[in-house]
A = this chain, B = another copy of it.
Amino acid sequence: MTRIAVESELRYEVHSPTGLLLAMSAAETAHQHVTDDHLSVTPEVAREQVRFDPSGHDLVRVHVEQGLVTISYRAIVDVRPHVPDDVPRSEVSFIDLPGDVLGFLNPSRYCQSDLLERFAQQTFGGLDPGFDRVTGICNWIWDHLSYVPGSTDASSSAVDVLVGAAGVCRDYAHLGISFCRALGIPARYVSGYAVDLEPPDFHGFFEAFLHGEWYLFDATRMAPIDGLVRIAAGRDAADVAFATIVGAAELVGKEISAVDLDRAGPAPTTSTPALGTA
């Protein structure tokens, strides 16, 4: 078990009546237990809990008339990853996929897996199936892409990132998801926190469905797999934006931290263990 303290704060200058939809809260799952969590909006405004279907994560929606608004979140999260005795050596056949997983085979806005079928088959078709194949995808992405903040923007897709050979965490995840889906492996985007991220920020990674479970992968190698705290999962980054703004608001401040409370030194960054954390 890893005990992680997460904190985040977003400050907006709101110029005219604006709706904010926030996905900053750590999720309670079979592999992740949240305590002491607190989300505050200052000044206090009416807020509403909304369940985003289909993904099933909870959003907080607030309406702000004008002025400075600060949204703060903090929690202690116990991450208890399920470590299988052995990594999954197989992929689930299309004929056996559960209905709630099928949609994660489909291409999405930022993951045009349909365009990458031959590329993926050509590059990863010869690897051992299962965990090794997805690890191979992550290694290829790590080798091929340069991590360059500012090299992509909110409209950049997996295809753009593959061609441009650079991106940030979100782009690494989109490319990994696209290659998985192109090979018939369901994959989804996960937003969250990551311990010791440098510079500190929210994080994006992905999950692949292998052997009946979702397994976490992070092609950026920026944090250990057991240092990842899930906020929400969706088809791609579009589904799990940390903040969606409809109106006129400007981000004027952002502070994020995630600290492993038990660990003193720097975290290892290889992704060797296979962890199911759905």
- A residues sitting closer than 8 Å to B (CB atoms) are 19, 21, 50-55, 59, 61, 63, 93-95, 98-100, 102-103, 106-109, 111-112, 114-116, 118-119, 122, 144, 146, 154-155, 159, 162-166, 184, 235, 238-239, 246
Given contacts A61-B95, A238-B107, whether A118 and B19 have CB atoms under 8 Å apart is no
Contacting pair A239 B163 (CB below 8 A): no
Contacting pair A164 B238 (CB below 8 A): no
> A115 is contacted by which of B52, B59, B164 (Cβ under 8 Å)?
B164
> A51 is contacted by which of B59, B99, B111, B239 (Cβ under 8 Å)?
B99
Residues on the B chain within 8 Å of A99, using CB: 50-53, 59
Given contacts A165-B122, A246-B184, whether A54 and B52 have CB atoms under 8 Å apart is no
> A246 is contacted by which of B53, B94, B115, B155 (Cβ under 8 Å)?
B94
Residues on the B chain within 8 Å of A98, using CB: 50
Residues on the B chain within 8 Å of A95, using CB: 19, 61, 63, 246
Q: How far is the CA of A53 from the CA of B186 in the complex (A)?
A: 13
Contacting pair B54 A115 (CB below 8 A): no
Q: Known contacts A19-B93, A95-B246; can you find 16 more A-B pairs with CB under 8 A?
A: A51-B99, A53-B100, A59-B99, A61-B95, A106-B238, A107-B238, A109-B109, A109-B112, A114-B154, A118-B165, A118-B166, A119-B164, A122-B146, A122-B165, A159-B163, A163-B163
